[in-house]
Structure 1
Amino acid sequence: MRKRALLSAVALSTALALSGCAAGASDGGSAKGGSTVTLTFLTFETPNLTAKYWDDAIARASAKVPGVTIKKLVAPSADPGAYAKQLAASGQLPDIMASVSPNGFAQAGQLASWTDAELTDFVSPHSNPINGKIYQLPYNTQPIPLVYYNKADFAQAGITGPPKTYAELLDDSSKLKADGITPFVVGGGGKDTWADMYPLIAAVGADTYKADPNWLAEKAAGKAKFTDPAFTKAVAKISDLAKKGYIDTAGLSRSYADTEQAFRDNKGAMYPMGSWFAASADARKPSFDIGVFPWPTDDGSLAVPAYTGGGPVVSSKAPDVDLAKKWALAFTLDKTSSDVSVKTDASIIAIKGYTPPTEVGPVYAQTVDLYQQAVKQNAIVNSFSVETGDGSMPAGLAGKTASGVADLISGKTNADHFSAFLDNEWAKATQ
């Protein structure tokens, strides 16, 4: 879900030139015959997933797969997908890519698929298939989003607990605003336009996907439109929140990191964000207690958008595809790396037999409990625009959706125009 600004061809070349070898032996060709192979690995950095996180994980995986040199590439923002698309257009698609949606790349024959034998260690080995094949290792589950909230703000406004229905959410927002508290913290400035998407993703999950879990696949099949009431109802809710002053529109200029800090600094009571925020909340505790709840449905039934995937994808043109897959599996299945991912990015690891560290924090524990409740109640729905399998959004459309959401929140467009814009952009992307 995480997007980035476009770079020029010169910038792409510069980025590649500046990327260094993170682990392994000296540069070489194929590892076959005893020689070494150099494989490029595209990563991204966030306040949670730092350069050290990647370097340490790369070193551990490389120690398990001799004969490999990993040349680490770093995407210029927190979602490497758009950057990978640019690299592919210039003939520089990395050999291994972390958290890149396979949609578009797989259909173009640019990725190697995973076999059932290679997927035996995963809880959900057939998550997000494309034409019956799996292209991304399904190692991590993330609810995207949940609503993290300031318990002290709620108490100050006379709110005794999180809302159960959407009407209660509106009532709570009204009480917060009346007490001088901004209800929602939302950002999305600069290269982090993706960060404004979470209220919409939540509303689509609670309204559109709760009623019809296969709605986006139906859109892909030409059986539904964004301009249909099933979708525009959710869009209108976000527009309405902004019009009522429940979303601080000035916050749209904030970067992802600044938006997170704004919530931590008590600039608003509720923060719709992916579950990875739980790690930050536990590691850098603010002055108030944080709770978590799912975006409410109209009738109060539970709906939690979630995505299982996030693991590496491997280029079908890697200098040694088998070795690249072996290294990607070693990277993904490393217990220490999974433990670090839990602690630093609140990952819900989807590997068989995995046990998380015992010292997880209270916000992470609440997040996992809420996810498990949704699993038990069969209340998991897809996360709009995060899907990567059959019927998912065309490559690049999520970024345009994020730009449209900014206009929706700022009042530059309305629900009908925004939905028509998405239909038009989908048509252009699939011509």
Structure 2
Amino acid sequence: MKSRRATVLVAAVAISATLLTACGTGSSGSGGDGKAELKFLTFTSPNVTKSLWEGAAANVTKKYPDIGIKLLYTPNLDRQAYAKQLLATGQLPDILWDAPGSEFVKAGALLSFDAADLKGMNVPSGYGTIGGKTYNLWNGSFLVPALHYNTEAFAKVGIQPPTTFDELLTDAVKLKAAGITPFLVQSGSDLWSAGYLLQGIVSADVYGRTPDWLAQRKAGKVKFSDPDFLAAVDKFVELRDKGLINKDALSINYAQSTTKWKAGDAAMWPMGSWATATKTSFKVGVFPFPTADGSKVLPVSIGAAVYVSAKTAHPAEAKKAAVSLITDPSWQANDMKSDGVLPIVSGIKPLAGTSDATLSSLALLNDTSYKHVVGFLNEVGDDSPPPGFSDAFGKAMQGLIGGDSAKTFTAGLDKSWDSLNK
């Protein structure tokens, strides 16, 4: 078994090298025309297409004719795992869209940005810093997670967005009685998306009262098995045990759940606000996860981010290109329309065709009656969970979806956390 794992690892590294060589990667340099040729690793999704990135890159090179950009794409949506693979094989491109910041800073793999690079970005001072330095440029805000709902399904059973968890539970039971799956959940090959239903409950109930709960967990002041966190998990278990979650949650991934959502196969989808850009035949509404007492809590994450490799042959040009991309009004507006990203640059006007659900999310973000918290496990920089914990959480979520008890689940999280938080 051990030799088989080694063989698989060697094969994976070899495939990675072949892929990057085929895409024209390797060390960046200056082209024959004197341009600084930069390799930019990004991603595609059902909402974010290659043509969108090509337009963004063209805007950068038009502004800076001395820069050339070669676009590369991750093989799947787990961008951080792929970035780690490239770092391990010495193939990190000049610019990356998303990376495990703390791990890469510890490895000396990233360049930091200066205060002048951050000008015009509406990000709280010090947000996401590592050791007091900023190693990324934030792209925009998301409501993570929020509940996206099929307005037609709600109308069919005569319900409105609830304001308490008890109301949410009652509404979900009504939906099931009408033959409608209340909640769409996925895990499959995308562990990063497995926990959004629980993360929303935790963000509302636990973080609503204790916004720095994860920092307290780092300090050993609280545990996942404590009564408040356990109570949030119990709510998830109640939804699961009442059959209010799709039966195939363990076997479908994010792309498949997107297809099911578009087909109207569920009434509610707990997801980040990028889901608001998914085109459906029905009108989609958005509401925050209801709290136990009806208090108004809104989980907000600023991300994803652009990073610059410490190994780039053109550090000044790479940072200049990254800043240009993130602050480009055209990019910000297109990203809001295509992927539901709520802009962090002032004065961005929504483009025609921006979904009503995205505009509703933007209105929620600007509603001052809500208490903003960073969504559970969306902490960044020095506040982020220890390396490896997000994957451990995703695997534990598969067990919870499959029938584990709340006590088994939280005890496992405590064990994983204690082993990783060194």
Same fold (TM over 0.5): yes
Residues 220 and 392 in structure 1, CA contact (< 8 A), matched pair in contact too: no
List aligned pairs for 1:301-380, cutoff 5 A: 301-357=295-351, 359-373=353-367, 376-380=368-372
- C-alpha deviation, 1:203, in angstroms: 1.1
Match of 1:68 in 2: 67
Match of 1:24 in 2: none
When residues 28 and 363 of structure 1 are mapped into structure 2, their CA distance, relative to the original with a 3 A threshold, is closer
Tell me the secondary structure at the aligned position of residue 113 of structure 1. Answer: coil
Write the letter of the residue equivalent to 2:15.
Answer: A
Match of 1:261 in 2: 259
- Identify which range, 211-220 or 91-100, moves more after superposition: 91-100
Residues 141 and 347 in structure 1, CA contact (< 8 A), matched pair in contact too: yes
Match of 1:396 in 2: 388
When residues 221 and 89 of structure 1 are mapped into structure 2, their CA distance, relative to the original with a 3 A threshold, is farther
List aligned pairs for 1:246-285, cutoff 5 A: 246-280=244-278, 284-285=279-280
Tell me the secondary structure at the aligned position of residue 39 of structure 2. Answer: strand
Tell me the secondary structure at the aligned position of residue 224 of structure 1. Answer: coil
Tell me the secondary structure at the aligned position of residue 175 of structure 1. Answer: helix
Residues 119 and 125 in structure 1, CA contact (< 8 A), matched pair in contact too: no
Matched, 1:416 2:407: yes
Q: 1:14 aligned to 12, 18, 41, which one?
A: 18
List aligned pairs for 1:126-275, cutoff 5 A: 126=125, 127-159=127-159, 161-190=160-189, 192-275=190-273
Residues 164 and 290 in structure 2, CA contact (< 8 A), matched pair in contact too: yes
RMSD of equivalent CA atoms:
2.3
Distance in 1 between residues matched to 2:352 and 2:266, nearest whole Å: 31
Distance in 2 between residues matched to 1:28 and 1:88, nearest whole Å: 15
- C-alpha deviation, 1:131, in angstroms: 1.8
Distance in 2 between residues matched to 1:71 and 1:359, nearest whole Å: 29
Residues 166 and 298 in structure 1, CA contact (< 8 A), matched pair in contact too: yes
Q: 2:418 aligned to 417, 423, 427, which one?
A: 427
When residues 28 and 252 of structure 1 are mapped into structure 2, their CA distance, relative to the original with a 3 A threshold, is closer
Tell me the secondary structure at the aligned position of residue 249 of structure 1. Answer: coil
Q: Deviations over 1:247-291 (max 9, x none)?
A: 1131331221221221222211111111111111xxx231x3322
Match of 1:113 in 2: 112
Tell me the secondary structure at the aligned position of residue 384 of structure 1. Answer: coil
- C-alpha deviation, 1:343, in angstroms: 1.1
Q: Deviations over 1:149-186 (max 9, x none)?
A: 12222232232x11110010111111111222111111
4+ residue segments displaced more than 6 Å: none
The percent of aligned pairs where both chains have the same amino acid is: 38
Write the letter of the residue equivalent to 1:285.
Answer: T
- Identify which range, 211-220 or 58-67, moves more after superposition: 58-67
Tell me the secondary structure at the aligned position of residue 42 of structure 1. Answer: strand
Residues 163 and 294 in structure 2, CA contact (< 8 A), matched pair in contact too: yes
Q: Aligned residues, how many? A: 412
When residues 73 and 427 of structure 1 are mapped into structure 2, their CA distance, relative to the original with a 3 A threshold, is farther
- C-alpha deviation, 1:396, in angstroms: 3.0
In the alignment, structure 2 segments of 5+ residues that lack a partner are: 1-8
Q: 1:382 aligned to 374, 379, 393, which one?
A: 374
When residues 303 and 29 of structure 1 are mapped into structure 2, their CA distance, relative to the original with a 3 A threshold, is same
In the alignment, structure 1 segments of 5+ residues that lack a partner are: 1-5, 22-26
Q: Deviations over 1:340-372 (max 9, x none)?
A: 111101111101333333553322221211222
Tell me the secondary structure at the aligned position of residue 72 of structure 1. Answer: strand
Q: Deviations over 1:283-312 (max 9, x none)?
A: x231x3322111100001111111113231
TM-score with structure 1 length normalisation? 0.89
When residues 173 and 319 of structure 1 are mapped into structure 2, their CA distance, relative to the original with a 3 A threshold, is same
Distance in 2 between residues matched to 1:19 and 1:30, nearest whole Å: 17
Residues 87 and 93 in structure 1, CA contact (< 8 A), matched pair in contact too: yes
Matched, 1:47 2:46: yes
Match of 1:3 in 2: none
Q: 2:288 aligned to 266, 271, 294, which one?
A: 294
Residues 242 and 249 in structure 1, CA contact (< 8 A), matched pair in contact too: no
- Identify which range, 270-279 or 35-44, moves more after superposition: 35-44
- Identify which range, 401-410 or 247-256, moves more after superposition: 247-256
When residues 230 and 134 of structure 1 are mapped into structure 2, their CA distance, relative to the original with a 3 A threshold, is farther
Q: Deviations over 1:308-356 (max 9, x none)?
A: 1323111222212221101111111122211211110111110133333
